[in-house]
Chains A and B, each alone.
Chain A
Amino acid sequence: MRVFKAMLRQPSAVFGLVVVILVVALAIAAPLIAPFSPDDQLAEGLSLEGAPLPPGGPFLLGTDTLGRDLLSRLLFGARTSLVIGLVANGVAVAIGLLVGILAGYIRGLVGNLMMRFTDLMMAFPALLLAIVLAALLKPSLWIVAMVIALVNWVQVARIVYTETRGLVERDFIMAERSLGAGHFRILVRHILPHLMPTAIVWSTLGIATTVLLEATLSFLGIGVQPPDASWGNIIFDNQTYFQDAPWLVFIPGAVILLTALSFNLVGDALRDILDPTQRGRG
């Protein structure tokens, strides 16, 4: 509640929050509010010459090259993009938390090895790795989500590691240990709660990264596959016509931008509120 009130004082955070809620609500309500079925190739959705229709009229945002309603495809695409955003990023944050906490708590040889492994992953050309994996793995929604998780957990792990190391040195953990608390109890009851702000911030910021990465993979044709609509593959389907039918590329593009921007704004505001030492920083 305190967090929520603090957010309402920042106009940019309010803007982000409103858009995020709107996008989520529209995605959930897609089957109820979409004017057409997203996959129907409508004869009246094409001009007499067979060209897609520009925005306006019964097709509010126009139609694509197959005569499908763009608005309906965007609404259903929101479901795909958000599901991937939540799942991929959730998995990435979970892996990052696990690796970071364990490496920070155990330290010694095992902890060291784990952190050297994250060093290695930091030197991995992440986008290239994602493209290679997605392209060679016969892409599907879940594969795309896993590929994104696989390249995105590293940063979370490093931050959690640093924080855990700091926590382990603190007196209250020492006190807990001297009282005979087991490792599991210390980790779950005392360390994990202190890491929650970090986890929440990264869960929000990470969704922006994930939505962008999914769109990029789908734009290359190796993300979500048709007939499933995703914001990236709508652009992929229509990119060759972008001069004649710019709305087919730039409306979905604007939707991706707006969504990523909003998650970033909310995440940034959360970081300011939950971690005062970071206030005013990049």
Chain B
Amino acid sequence: MTLVILRRLVQAMLILLGVAAITFLLLYALPADPAVLIAGRSATPQMVANIRHELGLDQPLLFQFLHYLYGLVHGDFGRSYTQRTAVLPLILARLPATLILMAAGITVEVVLGLTFGVIAAIRRGGLIDRTIMMLSFVGVSSPQFVVALLLLYVFAATLGWFPMSGFGTPAHVVLPAMTLGVLGAGWYARMVRSAMIDVLNHDYVRTARAKGLSGRRIIFRHVLPNAILPIIAMIGIDIGQFMSGVVVVEAVYGWPGIGQLAWQAIQQVDIPIIMGVTLVSALAIVIGNLLADVIAPFVDPRIRAQ
């Protein structure tokens, strides 16, 4: 077991290194020149050259990359071009807001997805099942920003139940979390339903039924625990997806998380921040998958035995 986790850790490191290399190369190859942007419109070529030298952009690419990696190993993500401060504290300051949103959003997803997925599986083939499956399709086909604006229009602008935007009170988190959660719940409901149906077809479920156990007991004691594994894997994937997917929701709701930080940095071609946020997002994806792998054997003894 320890060996497996160790191997996964090494793989994770390699993947992060690869993500760093590709992002670095892409940002370097793009036509937008940060030095020109920082220098402003009236800058002379000499000023631009000075800024380029100051930022180390006149060094060879490989040297720049190694320099960046050296910094990373020492916990240094470089300095922001526009804010003139270190990148890591900027990201860390924004991280809690995004993590709150992520926790709230995943909670909504899992609660809705489990509830509707279980109901659909029990009523398989019936009208309720078909309605839930249709709704889950509507969920996964919805453009996030339209749902965000719709919730704002109905619950903030018209009914006035929740604030339009901002951060700070529990009321602020409701609409962004609903936006993320309601859409994602579609995937969970489909996943839970198909995992449940797989288990329901097993002989031991028929045995339990033949023993005269109640439907409720069969579902919650015998079926659901065996269907939980794909859901855990899915939460793991979700943790990663959230980090890169929050840009839109944070932009609509003015939520001060890393998505907003990234969006501002992208508009200002602040490459060190873009690099930093990309790496943190990739780290979230890797950690999410790793968590799912580590938790799986605790939930499912069959994996422990292997």
**Interface residues of A, Cβ cutoff 8 Å to B:** 12, 119-120, 122-129, 131-133, 135-138, 208, 212, 215-216, 219-220, 232, 235, 239, 242-243, 246, 249-250, 253-254, 256-257, 260-261, 264-265, 268, 280-282
Contact = CB atoms under 8 A, between A and B. Distances in A.
Interface in B126-173: 130, 134, 137-138, 140-146, 149-150, 152-153, 157
Contact of B141 (A232, A243, A261): A261
A219 B248 contact: yes
Contacts of A208: 141
Contacts of B23: 129
Nearest to B269: A136
A194 B190 CA distance: 27
A125 B282 contact: yes
| Those 4 A-B pairs whose CB atoms lie nearest each other, nearest first | A125-B244, A253-B146, A125-B281, A261-B141
Nearest to A117: B18
A131 B156 CA distance: 28
Contact of A282 (B143, B157, B191): B191
A256 B143 contact: yes
B87 interface: no
Contacts of B146: 235, 249-250, 253-254, 256-257
Given A128-B262, A268-B137, A280-B197, A243 B153 contact: yes
Interface of B: 11, 15-16, 18-19, 22-23, 26-27, 30-32, 130, 134, 137-138, 140-146, 149-150, 152-153, 157, 187, 190-191, 193-194, 197, 240, 243-245, 247-248, 251, 262-263, 266-267, 269, 274, 277-278, 281-282, 284-286, 289
A253 B150 contact: yes
Contacts of A132: 26-27, 266, 274, 278
5 contacts: A124-B22, A132-B274, A137-B31, A260-B141, A260-B143
Contact of B193 (A119, A215, A239, A282): A282
B248 A220 contact: yes
Contact of A127 (B138, B157, B245, B269): B245
A264 B285 CA distance: 26
Given A12-B130, A120-B19, A220-B248, 13 more contacts: A120-B22, A127-B245, A128-B247, A128-B281, A129-B23, A131-B266, A136-B27, A220-B247, A250-B146, A250-B153, A253-B146, A253-B150, A257-B138
A49 B85 CA distance: 47
A123 B149 contact: no
Contacts of A257: 138, 141-143, 146
B143 A137 contact: no
A264 B157 contact: no
A249 B248 contact: no
Contacts of A254: 146
A282 B194 contact: yes
A219 B282 CA distance: 24
